[in-house]
Amino acid sequence: MAVSQGWTLRQLDVHNAFLNGNLAETVYMRQPSGYEDPTHPDYVCLLQRSLYGLKQAPRAWFKRLHDFLLTTGFSASKTDVSLFYYTAQDSRVFLLVYVDDIIMMANDTALLTTLLTRLSAAFKIRDLGQPGFFLGIQTLSVEGGLHLSQRRYMEDILTRAGMSDCKPLSTPASLSYSAAPSSELYENPTQYRRLAGALQYLTITRPDLSYAVNRLCQYMHAPTDDHWGLLKRKSTSGYAVFLGPNLVSWVSRKQRTVARSSTEAEYKGLADVAAEVT
């Protein structure tokens, strides 16, 4: 919407976001090291604000931000709890929050600046200007649009897999290699699941990798040594050369009905797309 309508985009970062949350529960903690009371070493501290590491911290921070935005005039989206919108005559402002990272978009730059000032008065906000690197996606302004790239995210995946110096493949999946179901279970299934899950996020800008990633994710419940080899040979090593300027809106999921032919499956997919677009 920002690209097609020419709207203003701003990226924000909240400093120590969780410390802004107010705890609804009673939580005690030991006296922190270096701040012990020598006269009462057995005393504990009663927390007034949420701290990083508390399971209540994310919820407490989001509730504080949510309540503040509603009092400012924003409305909460009924379909996405992370999305808020502000309407004033013909002016529109959208605010999307992910923990402490925020994207604001508006067709009225003056109104956006006013709302940003109110937000900065309540929280310690850092205005990063035009989005540059947001949730693992690098945003570059080009003539007539935005270029989204996950190159840095891809390089991090290769580093975690110990494949920084791997050789690239011309295709994201090998056509000849197959995993044997009788192989020994992989000794570190958590590592397999983490890498397979990370590769799912990479398909945001590279939907052409979705087939290979889908095959990898089918083995996450009990990955074997052959599946680990499948991941390293067929997918991860191939992502090094598959980072281009493509920007595609895409979703992949199994159909809810059983098709009796390929034609019926395609017709069902077309009907779902038409319904979603409508």
Query: How open is the CA angle 99-100-101, to the nearest 5 degrees?
Result: 100
Given the structure tokens 């200007």, which residue do they identify? 129
C-alpha span between 258 and 254 (Å, rounded): 10
How long a stretch of residues is the chain? Answer: 278
In the predicted model, what is the mean pLDDT of the chain? 78
Q: What domains, with CATH codes, occur in the chain?
A: 2-129 (3.30.70), 149-241 (no CATH)
Confidence of residue 181 (pLDDT cuts 50, 70, 90): low
What pLDDT was estimated at residue 84? 93
Which pLDDT value is given to residue 177? Answer: 52
Helix H or strand E encompassing 148:
strand 145-149
Phi, psi of 207 (to 5 degrees): -65, -20
Report residue 118 as tokens. Answer: 């109110």
Give the other-Cβ count within 10 Å of 252's Cβ.
Answer: 11
As a whole number of angstroms, the longest Cα–Cα distance in the chain is: 80
d(CA 230, CA 228): 5
**HEC states along 174-238?**
CCCCCCCCCCCECCCHHHHHHHHHHHHHHCCCCHHHHHHHHHHHCCCCCCEHHHHHHHHHHCHHH
Please write the tens of the pLDDT for every residue from 108-161: 888 888 888 888 888 888 888 888 888 888 888 888 788 888 888 888 888 887
Confidence of residue 252 (pLDDT cuts 50, 70, 90): low
If you ran DSSP here, which 8-state letter would residue 239 be given? G
pTM beyond cutoff 0.85: no
Compute the average pLDDT of residues 229-235. Answer: 53
Q: Which amino acid is at 146?
A: L
pLDDT of 94 higher than 90: yes
CA distance 231 to 256: 28
- Residue 139: the pLDDT is 84
